[in-house]
Amino acid sequence: MHLTLTLLLILWFVGLPSARGTARADDVDVTRFGATPDDGADDLRAIQRAIDASKPGDIVRFTAGVFDCSGTVFLRSGRTYRGAGDTTLRFKDRPDDTYGVAFLENCAEVTFDGFHLVGGGIRLSDGERYRDIRITNNDISQTARTPGVYVSIPSDRLVVERNRFHDFDGYGVIAYHINECSVSGNVFHNIDQGAHLLAPRDACNFSSNYGTRLTRMGLEVQRMGNVIARNMVVEGNVFHDWKLPFRDSFGLSIVADESVNTRIVNNYVRADHTGEWNEQTKTDGQGKRFGYGIEAGFASGIVEGNVIGGPWANHIVVSHKDTPVRNNKLYGKPVWKKHIAGEPGPGGTESAVAENNLIETNLKEMPPPPDMESVIRRAADARGENR
C-alpha cells in the first residue's frame, strides 16, 4: 500500500515518462486570425499570420469555403496543414511561373492535405534538402503555367499521393533528386504530362497513377549525373485517351540508365485519342504517330505483366543488354513493325530477352482500361490505409 502510494505521488509530481518534454500540439484555425472564406477579400496575410503563429507539431486548419490569396502562402516545418476537403485556396491573377504554395527552405515533417488549389501550384525549391514532406488528397487546377508540384532540390521520403492534377498547361509533377519517394495514386487529366522524375535514388515508387487527355508522356523517369537508382517500382499505372498526340506521346519512359532492380510491372497503356493530332505532326517529319508504349532502360530489372495496345511506334523498347521482357500482353500493330525492339543505350543498340509475351494484332481484343477508382484504391491498399 505504501509503495503504491509512493509511486503515484512520484508520477503526479514528475509526470509520465512518455509525456515529459513533449509540447502539446494545438489546432490553429486560420479564421481566428482574420481569414474569412467566401467573402471575396484577400486572405493571404491572415493565413500567413496563422502559420507564423503556429509551432512545430500543430495542425493549421482551414474551414470549408474559398479563401482568396493575392500571393504565395509559405509553409513552415513540423506542421500539418489540413483542409476540410472542400477548402479552396484561390490565387487570382498570378503572373506566369509563380506558385500558390511554397515550402520554406529545408522544410521537414510537413503534411499538406485536403485542399483545392485554383490558380497556383506547389513549389519546393529553397535550401539544400527537404525531408518527410507529404502532399496528399489535393485537387490542383489552372496553375500559372507551372507544374502542379515542382521539386528542384534533393528530398528524402517525399510523398505525392492521391492528388488530382487537371486542366492546366504544364506537367502534374516535376521532381529532381528524389530518394525513397512515392508519386502514387494520383489522377492526371487534361494536362501536358503526368510526371517527370529525374535523378531518383533508392526505393522510389511510382505506382497506381491514372492519366487521361495527356499530350506528352504518362510517366517519364530519367537519370542525371552519376546517380544510380536502386529498387525502383513502376507498377499498376493506367494511361489512355490522349489529347493532341505526337511522336513524344509515350505511355511510360523509364530510362534511369544503369539503374539496379527496376521493376516495370502490371501497367496498362493504350495509344488512343479523340480529336485532332498535334500541330507538330505537320512539321516534324514523323507524321501522325505515337511514341513508345513502354521505354525501359536499366542495368537490372524486368518488364513484366503489362498490357500495351494501339499504334505505338513500338510497344516495348529497351536500351540495355538482355533486358527481361516477359508475360506482357501486346495488342494492335506497331508503326515500326516490331512489338518489342532495342534502341541505342549506354552500351550501344541493345535487345530484349522476350519470353511468353502474348501478341494479338487485332486491337479489338484488348481489354478496356481498369476503372479509375480501383486503380487509386490500390495505392491506398499498398500503404495499408484501407485496413
**What's the whole-model pTM score?**
0.92
Among candidate residues 136, 216, 124, 217, the one with its CA nearest the CA of residue 177? 124
Segment 334-354 shows an average pLDDT of 91
**4, pLDDT greater than 80:** no
Distance CA 190, CA 249 (A): 14
- Residue 61, CB-side half-sphere exposure with 13 Å CA sphere: 11
The pLDDT, as a whole number, for residue 381 is: 78
**23, pLDDT greater than 80:** no
Among candidate residues 237, 279, 277, 229, the one with its CA nearest the CA of residue 255? 229
The pLDDT, as a whole number, for residue 347 is: 81
Segment 323-328 shows an average pLDDT of 98
Segment 119-123 shows an average pLDDT of 98
The pLDDT, as a whole number, for residue 385 is: 66
Of 69-78, 301-310, 342-351, minimum mean pLDDT range? 342-351
The pLDDT, as a whole number, for residue 245 is: 98
- Per-residue pLDDT tens for 132-147? 999 999 999 999 999 9
Let me know: does 77 contact 83? Beta carbons within 8 Å.
no
**18, pLDDT greater than 50:** no
Q: How far is CA 19 from the centre of its chain?
A: 37
Segment 302-307 shows an average pLDDT of 98
Q: How far is CA 201 from the centre of its chain?
A: 16
Cell of 372: 479509375
Per-chain mean pLDDT for the chain: 93
Domains and CATH numbers, the chain: 170-273+287-369 (2.160.20.10)
The pLDDT, as a whole number, for residue 49 is: 98
**256 vs 93, which has greater pLDDT?**
256
- Per-residue pLDDT tens for 157-208? 999 999 999 999 999 999 999 999 999 999 999 999 999 999 999 999 999 9
The pLDDT, as a whole number, for residue 8 is: 42
